Chains A and B, each alone.
Chain A
């Protein structure tokens, strides 16, 4: 017991003498080394509900997309490029504008794209009804851009047919999975 106390005291002295052990892997606890916090806006809650709509403060901008009409009624090609600072995008989902339904996915230049959505509406009464149809593409390897300012990331084009004309916007593209790069992707060129 006495030996332990003596040895411990020796170690404390050694650490003090050596400026608190700068070779240790322990992290500081102040300034930027404090636990992460997130600031949220104040939200009024009245009767358990919120009387206002709250939109995300940050809208991700992982893709640039261009829609091209193809020969045939309501036939389109959507060309999508990776412009994110994440890294390699491996799957994505595209929701058409409200009121437009995906009839068929004709093909894609990479990966595997299918028409997706919620099935089973009303139990088994309506087996053909698909709610919120969208196109889900996986097996992609959309390489990271060298700079998010250049838009030179990997691309994929998807051809599909809808039940009505795409006149009300380009829909909603969402990154599903990605492989992050270790190095930072710059947002401007030096």
Chain B
């Protein structure tokens, strides 16, 4: 009780003094928006979602290439996580989440796309398999064309998560999601 009173009093003085807190950052989020978004994301901790965020990273041997939160409203977030695999034998993976305070009204859709076909690397025109190629090498050796393909797939499944208001996020070692500051 004493704790709540102290915080409320101090916060009240700050607000009355017009000392910020209502202003938006470069991502269009207020401090209150950020706090609310982080609270919603915290509800994913210790669930299958946090488990899979780590599991998928281990599967494709890469940390997410993109993690983005779009704040639809105070109780609904769209969260998008995209992985570019380390090896050609592993797929691109993305997770589209609509997260609310209630798991029953949240949704979590996983998608995958092969980087190459079994036992062969798709050539630049996307229609043939490069002669002599194998799928047991690093995806990065595919060069700029492969990197472009990765960016295209990333954008194709992102929907509107890169629009404002929103921010980047980070997957932590325990599978929790942390909202990052907008720069």
Give A residues with C-beta under 8 Å from B: 3-4, 6-8, 10-11, 13-15, 17-18, 21, 23-27, 31-38, 40, 43, 48-50, 53-58, 60, 85-87, 95, 98, 118-122, 131-132, 172, 174-185
20 additional contacts (CB under 8 A) given A14-B9, A176-B112: A3-B17, A3-B19, A8-B14, A21-B7, A25-B39, A34-B172, A36-B54, A36-B64, A36-B175, A85-B48, A86-B110, A120-B127, A131-B128, A131-B129, A177-B110, A177-B111, A182-B47, A182-B108, A183-B103, A184-B48
Q: Of all chain B residues, which has the CB nearest A176?
A: B112
Question: Is the pair A43, B138 in contact by a Cβ cutoff of 8 Å?
Answer: yes
> Chain B, 71-102, contact with A by CB distance < 8 Å: what is the 0/1 string?
00000000000000011011100010000000
Question: Is the pair A36, B6 in contact by a Cβ cutoff of 8 Å?
Answer: no
Q: Of all chain B residues, which has the CB nearest A90?
A: B109
Quote the shortest CB–CB distance from B116 to chain A (angstroms): 10
Residue count of chain B within 8 Å CB distance of chain A: 68
A98: chain B residues at CB < 8 Å are 119
Interface hub of A21, A37, A58, A119 (most chain B Cβ within 10 A): A58
Question: Is the pair B42, A25 in contact by a Cβ cutoff of 8 Å?
Answer: yes
Question: Is the pair A54, B136 in contact by a Cβ cutoff of 8 Å?
Answer: yes
Interface hub of B9, B51, B127 (most chain A Cβ within 10 A): B127
- Inter-chain CA distance A53–B108, complex, in Å, is 34
A–B Cβ pairs within 8 angstroms, 23 of them: A3-B17, A6-B13, A7-B14, A7-B16, A8-B19, A13-B10, A14-B6, A15-B7, A24-B35, A25-B39, A27-B42, A35-B173, A36-B63, A54-B138, A56-B61, A56-B89, A58-B59, A118-B117, A119-B127, A178-B109, A179-B107, A179-B110, A182-B49
